[in-house]
Structure 1
Amino acid sequence: MTTDVRWLDATQMRAWRGFLDLHARLAAKLNRDLQRTSGLTLSDYDVLVHLTDVPEGRLRAFELGDGLQWDKSRVSKQVARLAARGLVAKEECEADRRGAYVVLTPAGREAIEAAAPAHVELVHRLVFDTITPEQVREWAAISRAILQRIEAG
């Protein structure tokens, strides 16, 4: 057992716990609001957004998982739920029979386009209307720095 633990100081602890609480509460609020206004869950929305971010509206399942930071099982279950509702389709990958594409359907595009305005308005109201433009720039810089550290390993 090591005794060289770098414990968080009081300020760091408040910041860390505040971040965790913010993340949990914001995700829950966004999820509830999306379900109420559009019938989509936040997970549904996340998948559909990733598919709308690519010109063809299609990604390999593993690419979708990488983008969402989800494991293969979660991607598979979420895609199956969305496919059952006609929001996405699965297509075989001719180059690799083990893989599949997840493809945005016209109904999926319609669903995300209908859900996005209210969702973005809520994000503005809860987040960006609460903080200053300088705080937004600082937040973006902090996020970028942490993500770079994570990517660097």
Structure 2
Amino acid sequence: MTTRWLTPEEQRAWRAYVAGYLLLEDAIDRQLQQDAGMPHAYYSILANLSETPERRLRMTDLAERLKITRSRLTYAVSRLEKDGLVRREECRWDKRGSIAALTDEGMAVLEDAAPGHVATVRAALFDRLTPEQVGQLEEIFGQVAQGFQGDGEGEAAPEDLPWRRRSSPCSGTS
């Protein structure tokens, strides 16, 4: 099998993506640690729960929204639960599943952190782009995500998607 090496243009684009992603994630994490005492992943959990009816979501559905493994989500929710920001509840329609629920305290923390988070995202990303580039960014990463998840026309999503994995390679749990 012959390796299809990246072209010089692809290599530059790849390295630009990696550098941009890592610097953006670092800026967001630093702001959230400073303002809310939590990493971006935890903020994302609170934000996603805040957007759902009754601020509750089944853990497997939350893992899919966040594009993370169920074991990583379980760990994060446990930490947020200790801080009183999230509460776990039994799933009435599936005894094997559980629900993550955003508490009033979690909502207050989210509301306090959101303005700084949005300002950081705006300054670090969107203020540097033209409206056309924002559309291109959405189109490009929408296409990338769709490629991993199937075409939506009956094609099954791969079982290797993070939220479908039985366990993460490091944790040994599901």
Q: 1:68 aligns with which of 58, 66, 69?
A: 66
Q: 1:135 is paired with a residue of what secondary structure?
A: helix
Q: 1:133 — aligned with what?
A: 131
* Distance of 1:41 and 1:108 partners within structure 2: 14
- Superposition map of 1:78-93 within 5 A: 78-93=76-91
Residue identity opposite 1:113 in structure 2: E
- Shift of residue 94, structure 1, vs aligned partner: 2.0
- Shift of residue 40, structure 1, vs aligned partner: 2.2
Identity percentage over the alignment?
37
Q: 2:31 aligns with which of 30, 33, 55?
A: 33
Q: 2:92 — aligned with what?
A: 94
Q: 1:106 — aligned with what?
A: 104
Q: 1:24 — aligned with what?
A: 22
Q: 1:144 aligns with which of 123, 142, 145?
A: 142
Q: 1:56 is paired with a residue of what secondary structure?
A: helix
Q: What is the RMSD computed on CA atoms of the aligned residues?
A: 1.2
- Shift of residue 139, structure 1, vs aligned partner: 1.3
* Distance of 1:138 and 1:28 partners within structure 2: 23
- State the TM-score, normalized to the length of structure 1: 0.93
- State the TM-score, normalized to the length of structure 2: 0.82
Higher helix share: 1
* Distance of 2:71 and 2:145 partners within structure 1: 24
Residue identity opposite 1:72 in structure 2: R
Q: What 5-or-longer segments of structure 2 have no aligned partner?
A: 151-156, 158-174
Count matched residues.
151
